[in-house]
Amino acid sequence: MPQTGLKAARETTAAVELVLFDLDGTLVDSAPDLAGTANDMLRARGLAPVPYDRLRSHCGSGARGMLGCAFKTDPRQAGYGALRDEFLDRYEQRMLQQTRIFDSALPMLAALDAAGMAWGIVTNKALRFATPLTRELGLLDRAKVLIGGDSTAHTKPHPEPLLEAARQVGRPHATCIYVGDDERDMLAGRAAGMATAAAAWGYLGADAALTTWQADVVLDHPMQLLHWLDLA
């Protein structure tokens, strides 16, 4: 009988030497501060805040997602740039008020460290935010690499950020896996020639259909990654 599930998916890939993670919605729950920033902007204008659950599903798209949900605007519309700059300045001031590493991700990272498995972070978040955030959460010193949205000429879903992470750590791209909670993460990982894992605990969005993302494996819980890597 053909094998199914995690074991079958694991056997389709090369031995993993480097695990790369998306940041927001995969390792850290930054939704409270992202959503809080959008609602701070609404309140400053005398407008009603948007329910947290509605904003949370758009957090994977950062400022663009928050402004789209809260102000019904996008980068093509006049005035978007000013709103984006205000959002980023406000977010920088409060981005560590409620943001935390997912409780379920903590033992997974500890197990990777204990096993000597190299891991790093590749995010579309600019280093202006990603560096202090990961430092304060105790991730920066543990990660072998941090690639932000402005570390290379392209952002995900382009593969360049992932390839740059592999290059900096000195691992062949074919021995890497990228874990993320957005379809763009899977597109970037596949384009980079890496294995991919969809994080089902992430922000995803209301219309997300993980089975269509063509990930090598869908993880319902961070600890499942350890089974996929034969570390548990």
Active site residue ranges? 22
Amino acid at 129: F
CA-based radius of gyration for the chain: 18
Residue 77, C-beta contacts closer than 8 angstroms, at least 6 positions apart: none
H-helix segments, 105-149: 105-114, 127-136
Structure tokens at 49: 């805040």
Structure tokens at 42: 């609404």
**Closest by CA position to 145, among listed 134, 137, 154:** 134
Dist CA 161 CA 150 (whole Å) = 9
Distance (Å, whole) CA 220 – CA 200: 5
Coil, strand, or helix at residue 208?
Answer: coil
